[in-house]
Amino acid sequence: MSSSSRDALHFPESDRTFLEPSLPPQDGSTPRPDLPFTTLTFATSLDSSLSLAPGTRTALSGPQSKAMTHYLRSRHDGILIGVGTAVADDPGLNCRIAGVGGYGGEGLHGQPRPIVIDPSLKWDFSEGSKLFQMCREGRGRAPWIVTTVQEPPAEKAALMEAYGGRFITMNIPSSDSGSCRMDWRELLRVLRSNGLRSVMIEGGARVINSLLEPSYMALVDRVILTIAPTWLGQGGVVVSPARRLGEDGEPMSAARLKNVQWYPFGEDVVLCGEMKI
Ligand SMILES: NC(=O)c1ccc[n+]([C@@H]2O[C@H](COP(=O)([O-])OP(=O)(O)OC[C@H]3O[C@@H](n4cnc5c(N)ncnc54)[C@H](O)[C@@H]3O)[C@@H](O)[C@H]2O)c1
Ligand SMILES: Nc1nc(=O)c(N)c(NC[C@H](O)[C@H](O)[C@H](O)COP(=O)(O)O)[nH]1
């Protein structure tokens, strides 16, 4: 057995059935012609934390739901994270399900395209970064980095070119407070026009909270969450979108799901649903 096959994760056929209605259509069709099928998926604690603290990576999923996440990766063309996650996690952003490219399969079949939202190019990646290591080993694709920077540093540009990645330059307006706010519809359109028919958005909190704003939540076709039976406690990186006010000026819930199904999965529970618009 090759080392790649030994590392591979297994997600049994019997566990795949429940997910199928929540996954991008196998024929590559999309609900809207100009946008990819968009899945929001992450693992959360009981107190809505993604990790114990900014800049750290916290394992929440048990082995079965971790394998599920990798199966989801095999069913999407792209996997998107924010730069906060890239810096904290040094992620591989590849798929380790047995049978995909690099794990017993041909070429890079079943490997999603990593996309990192990095407006001011803060991610100091190098050939030593796990993502590039995966590329070298034929176990993952090079990233697309979405940025406002018109001319990335030559050394980073050369590395990206050598591995087949690219910078996607977008206009991301800054607010008065200095933080920038991307137009999710525009970004998803750009990804679709670059050939991606489906994208899974994994986080972190800033990415998720902004995607759950009223003007963007309709772009999310499916939500697939892993809920782990643990409280991470105060100080964690929390998913909690901005409160909305109703027509009467009273606070109302920020977002809600419909057509929800819950699946116990080892010690975790997996929730599949659609945004209630
Ligand atoms: N449990 C999970 O499933 C999971 C998933 C992903 C990340 N994480 C964890 O989350 C943490 C990182 O989360 P975070 O919130 O600090 O960072 P993040 O990954 O959301 O990245 C934040 C940065 O991305 C850019 N960005 C994000 N949304 C933007 C928008 N709408 N417009 C413009 N720029 C935008 C900005 O530069 C911002 O500073 C890490 O600890 C990571 O381990 C956990
Ligand atoms: N499903 C899931 N369960 C977890 O317990 C956990 N911590 C993550 N975290 C996701 C994550 O923070 C980013 O999507 C990564 O950065 C991906 O990194 P890898 O490709 O796995 O190396 N995701």
Query: Which atom of ligand 2 is nearest to 88's Cα?
Result: 16
Domain ranges of the chain: 13-231+251-276
Is any atom of ligand 2 closer than 6 Å to the C-beta of 49? no
pLDDT tens-digit series, residues 137-173: 999 999 999 999 999 999 999 999 999 999 999 988 8
pLDDT tens-digit series, residues 70-127: 999 999 999 999 999 999 999 999 999 999 999 999 999 999 999 999 999 999 999 9
CATH code given to domain 13-231+251-276: 3.40.430.10
- Give percent of the chain above pLDDT 70: 97
C-alpha of residue 208 to centroid of ligand 1, in Å: 7
ipTM of the complex in this document:
0.98
Distance of alpha carbon 78 from alpha carbon 61, whole angstroms:
21
C-alpha of residue 88 to centroid of ligand 1, in Å: 9
Q: What is the pLDDT confidence band of residue 133, given thresholds at 50, 70 and 90? A: very high
Ligand nearest, relative to CA of residue 116: 1
pLDDT average, residue stretch 183-187 = 97
Q: Are strands 113-117 and 78-82 parallel, antiparallel or unpaired?
A: parallel
Residue 243 has pLDDT above 80, yes or no: yes
CB under 8 A, 24+ apart: contacts of 18-23: 18/261, 18/263, 18/272, 19/68, 19/71, 19/72, 19/224, 19/272, 21/272, 22/222, 22/224, 22/272, 23/72, 23/75, 23/222
Q: What is the pLDDT confidence band of residue 4, given thresholds at 50, 70 and 90? A: low
Which pLDDT score is estimated for 180? 82
Is any atom of ligand 2 closer than 6 Å to the C-beta of 226? yes
Ligand 1 lining (C-beta closer than 6 Å): 42-43, 50-51, 54, 56-57, 60, 81-85, 88-89, 117, 119, 172, 180-182, 202-207, 210, 237
pTM reported for the whole predicted model: 0.97
Q: What is the pLDDT confidence band of residue 259, given thresholds at 50, 70 and 90? A: very high
Q: Whose CA is nearest to atom 20 of ligand 2?
A: 93
Q: What is the pLDDT confidence band of residue 175, given thresholds at 50, 70 and 90? A: confident
Which pLDDT score is estimated for 2? 62
